[in-house]
Copies of this chain bind each other. A is one copy, B any other.
Amino acid sequence: MTATAARCPMRGRPPDPSKRAAIVAAAGALFSRQGYGISMEAIAGEANVSKQTIYNLFSTKEHLFGAVVASCSETIIEAIPTPAEHAPPTEGLSRIAHEYVRFMTSGKIPLVYRLMISAPSEVGAVLTAQFYDNGPRRALAQVADYLRDQDRLGNLKIANPDLSAECFFGMLNGQILIRNMLGLQDHWSEAHLDEKADYCVAMFLSEHAQK
């Protein structure tokens, strides 16, 4: 009966939604950069909000962390490369590859992964599982489905679509993800990224192209 919104008269000062957004954003940034140990005071300061306001919205630090994780999963899902279903494999894979390497080097996503890992295990165990299922696993499944379709259509020869999808993303990742997670920031030039994407697509097709 979630009648929360039905408290008709609606008296008093209405909550400012920008506060909540600012808190989640600040918490995300600080958790990623400094780890879960960052203080609530620091988060409040970064969000330009009083500590009490945080506790009005989130009962505990863990709840706040959960909210941050949820918002991250959304980010990842939005950014999943969706293969054009009827595009020929060369074109479809190439688009996925170029999008993905840019996605992974965009600065935002590595922070998401760092965030997930920064939580101590007691806090993060369930959340990380949810995150993986909602984000990376879904992206993987989508591409595996695409590969299955292309096999059925006779455009590619794919014996094990799941394995192929996993390895395809793996080679696109290369060292990017691990280096980012370790906090070693480096600049990957556009040319380098394109070269890598093209190389991976070529290798994948050389194995799977229907002759």
Contacts and interface: CB of A to CB of B under 8 A. Distances in A.
Interface residues of A, number: 49
A200 to B, nearest CB: 6
B199 A163 contact: yes
A192 to B, nearest CB: 9
A123 B4 CA distance: 45
Contacts of A118: 35, 117-118
A130 to B, nearest CB: 11
A174 B131 CA distance: 18
Contact of A167 (B35, B132, B166, B200): B200
A35 B33 contact: no
Contact of A116 (B33, B37, B182): B182
A114 interface: yes
- Main SS class of interface, A: helix
Interface in A116-157: 116-118, 120-121, 124-125, 128-129, 131-132, 136, 140
A184 B120 contact: no
Interface stretch (A12-20, A51-59, A202-210): A202-210
Nearest to A140: B175
Interface of A: 33-37, 113-114, 116-118, 120-121, 124-125, 128-129, 131-132, 136, 140, 160, 163-164, 166-175, 177-179, 181-184, 195-196, 199-200, 202-204, 206-207
Given A128-B182, A170-B171, 11 more contacts: A35-B121, A117-B118, A118-B118, A160-B195, A163-B195, A166-B174, A166-B175, A167-B174, A169-B175, A170-B174, A181-B181
5 contacts: A35-B35, A163-B196, A164-B199, A166-B174, A207-B207
